[in-house]
Structure 1
Amino acid sequence: MVQRIYATADQYEQLLFETPPADIDRRIALASRFLDANVFRYCLYTADATTGLPTNAVVAEAFALAVCVQVQWGVEVGDLTGAMGAGWGNVSIGDVQLGRSVTAVSGADSPGRQVAPAVRDALRSPDLAAAGFSMGVTVWA
């Protein structure tokens, strides 16, 4: 299986105007894989037959921005994989009490496993329609 990487550390810094975290390459790889599985696969765009990356520069930049904001989301919520939200029911630390259903033990509902709201914003640019991009479309060949 080919691992598509849609952004670079330089793009993270340029697009978000902030210094990338120390493990930015790992975070970009994880965010690329996550968005491939949860967002990009449901989009219609022209991709390179060998790399699977978007061939249109506007679409490629939108994907880079989407990956960068997904990385930023992971930094903000402090969780890349959903593991921090797995396996606990009720927790108390002093006066602070946190609780959730003990049936939610997989971490799938954790913020680390959510698509960042800004990803949708990145993929709704008016410039994308002219670039042959459509979100929410599945095509089987």
Structure 2
Amino acid sequence: MGRVYATPEQLAAYTGAPAPEGVERLLARASEDVDAALLTACYAVDDDGDPTEQPVVEALRDATCAQIEWQLATGDDGTGAAGAWDSVSIGPVSLSGRKSGPPAASGVDLAPRAHRALRRAGLLPGVIW
């Protein structure tokens, strides 16, 4: 398993709700999504490849939690299959319509809040000179 940027407790604090069933799998998949968006990002890491600067650690944590929050709100289980359906309802929230348009440039459908967290930390867009 790859790097995981948030804990179940951090997810619960971020969303204000208890961590859902299968949270470890959701965290792993959301962390993979964040990694995919960061393919060209440059930031300091330790010998294990973990970020060392606190703002980067926090941005990766927040982006991972935002990705899961968005997936849960849209009815996605982390597989990306939810984008194929016409409607999703969770409690009082109801969404309908089919997602259209090209996939994200990174090849991952990144949640808007996750994108903002990474952009605020200066991790997006990554540019290699």
TM-score range, shorter chain: 0.7 to 0.9
Q: Which blocks of at least 5 consecutive residues in structure 1 are unaligned? A: 91-96
User: For residues 20 and 110 of structure 2, what CA distance do their matches in structure 1 show?
Assistant: 19
Q: Is the 8 A contact 1:70 1:119 kept in 2?
A: yes
User: For residues 113 and 8 of structure 2, what CA distance do their matches in structure 1 show?
Assistant: 18
Q: Which residue number in structure 1 is paired with residue 72 of structure 2?
A: 75
Q: Which blocks of at least 5 consecutive residues in structure 2 are unaligned? A: 87-95
May I ask how many residue pairs the two structures share in their alignment? 115
Q: Is the 8 A contact 1:46 1:56 kept in 2?
A: yes
Q: Is the 8 A contact 1:44 1:135 kept in 2?
A: no
Please report the RMSD computed on the Cα atoms of aligned residues, expressed in angstroms.
3.0
TM-score (norm 1): 0.67
User: For residues 99 and 124 of structure 1, what CA distance do their matches in structure 2 show?
Assistant: 27
Q: Is the 8 A contact 2:6 2:61 kept in 1?
A: yes
Q: Is 1:15 aligned with 2:14? A: yes
Q: Which residue number in structure 1 is paired with residue 109 of structure 2?
A: 114
In structure 2, give the amino acid aligned to 1:32.
S
TM-score (norm 2): 0.72
Q: Which residue number in structure 1 is paired with residue 50 of structure 2?
A: 53
SS in 1 for 2:39: helix
**C-alpha displacement of 1:43:** 1.8
